[in-house]
Amino acid sequence: MAATDKLVVKTRQILAHFSDALWVVENPATSLMWMREASGGLGADSVVTSYCCWGTLFRKDTRLANNFGLSLPRCPGAPTCPAMIGQRHVEWSQRGCGGAVPRFKTRHELHAIPAPLVEEIERQLTVALAARTGSRESGPSPEPR
């Protein structure tokens, strides 16, 4: 945990150095990092979202600490989640097994943040930045989802 703590402390130092910047820090929702003293309450302003809300067939909850009021959905569960068959997600966020339709997944598939999630964060960041600067003409127009 010492190496992890050093990384978190460095992250907090970077955020403090760029104190005027808007930022997002991602780590799995169940990570112990959020509870460690080294986090310094980094996760106090955060949102948890589920990868299945962003196109994956498995649920993986991730926490995104941020300083601009990021708002994201979390898996609504059955029967609303489109990644579920009955009471189970189609896949589990494990490499080789689990879920209604087990399939081997690469480490990259499991760890990569879904592109639609990144695009939504960028959209909300653009809106927050425009609101902060008072100029909606400085960036791209947000697309309705």
Q: By the criterion CB under 5 A, which residues form the site for Zn ion?
A: 52, 59, 75, 81, 83
Pick 79 or 144: Cβ nearer Zn ion: 79
Residue with tokens 């986090």: 39
Pick 33 or 120: Cβ nearer Zn ion: 120
Q: Which of 113, 140, 118, 117 is nearest to 129 (CA)?
A: 140
Pick 41 or 102: Cβ nearer Zn ion: 102
Q: Measured from the CB of residue 34, what is the shortest distance to Zn ion in angstroms?
A: 21
Query: Residue 107: helix, strand or coil by DSSP?
Result: helix
Q: Measured from the CB of residue 58, what is the shortest distance to Zn ion in angstroms?
A: 8
Q: Measured from the CB of residue 142, what is the shortest distance to Zn ion in angstroms?
A: 25
Pick 11 or 50: Cβ nearer Zn ion: 50
Omega cis (within 30) before 102: no
Q: Measured from the CB of residue 102, what is the shortest distance to Zn ion in angstroms?
A: 17
Q: Which of 90, 95, 33, 38 is nearest to 64 (CA)?
A: 33
Q: Measured from the CB of residue 59, what is the shortest distance to Zn ion in angstroms?
A: 4
Q: What string of DSSP letters covers 34-92?
A: GGSGGGTTGGGSEEEEEGGGGT-SS--EEEEEESS---------TTT-TTEETTEESS-
CA 136 from chain centre, in angstroms, equals: 25
Pick 57 or 121: Cβ nearer Zn ion: 57
